[in-house]
Amino acid sequence: MTPAFDFIIIGAGSAGCALASRLSEDPANKVLVLEFGGTDAGPFIQMPAALSYPMSMSRYDWGYESDPEPHLGGRRLATPRGKVVGGSSSINGMVYVRGHACDFDTWEDMGASGWGYRDVLPYYQRMEHSHGGQTGWRGTSGPLHVTRGTKWNPLFDVFKAAGEEAGYGVTADYNGERQEGFSDMEMTVHKGRRWSAANAYLKPAMKRSNVDLIKGALVRRIIVENNRAVSVEYEIGGELMITKARREVVLAASSINSPKILMQSGIGPAGHLTEHGIDVIADRPGVGANLQDHLELYIQQACTQPITLYKHWNLVSKGLIGLQWLLQGKGLGASNHFEASAFIRSRAGIKYPDIQYHFLPFAVRYDGTAAAEGHGFQAHVGPMRSKSRGRVSLTSVDPKAKPSILFNYMSHEDDWSEFRKAVRLTREIFGQEAFAPYRGKEIQPGSDVQSDDELDGFIREHAESAYHPCGTCRMGAEDDPMAVVDPKCRVIGIDGLRVADSSIFPQITNGNLNGPSIMVGEKAADHILGKEPLPSSNQEPWIHPDWQTSQR
């Protein structure tokens, strides 16, 4: 046994870092953060342009992958999760998206009362330090710095101009009043460094005497006595430790590891737990269910002018970029290079955007392999609200064993028509006059891929995860048999235990999930401390006035 703490937070990721900061603001609260990963120091993590490295390094990533996906030709898809201080906010693409207002109103409709847009907007404002966002809609004094790139490449503005030519609107701030349209993309970068949840929240909190962080701690289970979470059992350097929680245990270990730890602790689908010889403490069939993600494709076009990042794709250039970043914190190393974006609706009758674009002045894969053709540009595109649902389950009682992850991608027939539409709309945007001075041949899928069947074949072979898993400990009403936590993030049926991370999302949000995950940590902290939630906002988000009859 080790000394007791008021709060034990499992996971120093996006939500966990925010929780550690807010729960420790009162010096009377002793807070322990348990993190299996190690330090986030070093240029691979802190230099924004190096983002393709930490995601594929076993030192920083859990190394998970999906089971063979039956609707994607049996492919196993990489499922990176941060195994490092800062969690996935230390290895992600640093794209900052709040989500659409309607996402949170949908959460409320699904039983997450108090999580509508009017309720979460004040938490976004509390957490943000927005540089250049829309006045009155954004926070300007929070710990999370959100910036925009220098737009060093002309193609960023060309992408937006092409969107306008195609008849779409432009929005000054997709994280403000209006998400829909073409816009500059925002990133969690500050003074040229990755502004992870660790840099924003945990490191300042660690200066307080009431916060402890233990790295290299593999949580085995949460110990429950008389239906109350009382302590956490973890392993460090081969030694077994148990730490007591005087008030609460908060699980913030990701949408993959949070349900895994719950199941290892006897909380989950009774049949599945019994199968593995685990004593059932609470039969919650929703644990591990409702797994959602965003899939995306890269639509790649050759560029006829030698202006893309491809010219820097050599050791000398990379070395010079790295050196400039190390010495000055500036230059091409200080950007994630996703500096233009769009959110559009795929057809009339859809109320808010269901397709997202990340635009990149380079034809490259996430793993850093460049298109052989040389200079090019690409749009990452994918539908936002797939109806497919998957699950996370145990493969063994051994806490070191990797879980079974099945996203069941593309299992709903609507996914296929939505994806085909996304590809065709992208080709139309790339075909606009604005791109004429730069547009070469289509690299991927290639101009010969046109029919529904051909596009389906391309999707089956090339769709990749956008790395936005969520939903596996769904928040809902207490009497909902598939809900895992109530609207105050309390695990239903167990006292003193909460979950606060992307696993509690009832439905995936529009865009990247780091922002909403941090917001969950912020809001959950107030519930845990028994504070009155921040006053609701009465601001009305923009919805396309003709959404019922017009696609753009």
Which residue numbers are catalytic? Answer: 468
CA-to-CA distance for 419 and 466, rounded, in angstroms? 14
Kindly report the number of other CB atoms within 10 A of residue 390's CB atom: 22
For 511-527, give the DSSP string.
S-SHHHHHHHHHHHHHH
CA-to-CA distance for 479 and 492, rounded, in angstroms? 9
Beta bridge partners of 32: 8, 212
CA-to-CA distance for 93 and 296, rounded, in angstroms? 14
Which residues are documented as binding site for FAD? 6-35
Tokens, residue 160: 């937006």
Which residues are documented as binding site? 6-35
Tokens, residue 72: 């994607």
C-beta contacts of 264-273 below 8 A and 24+ residues apart: 264/220, 264/221, 264/394, 264/397, 264/399, 265/221, 265/222, 265/223, 265/224, 266/221, 266/224, 267/222, 267/224, 267/491, 267/494, 272/393, 272/394
End-to-end CA distance of the chain: give it in Å, rounded: 61
CA-to-CA distance for 220 and 13, rounded, in angstroms? 18
For the four alpha carbons of 82, 84, 85 and 89, in that order, the dihedral sign comes to negative
The answer for residues whose C-beta is within 8 angstroms of residue 294's C-beta and 6 or more apart is 356, 382, 383, 384, 386, 465, 466, 468, 508
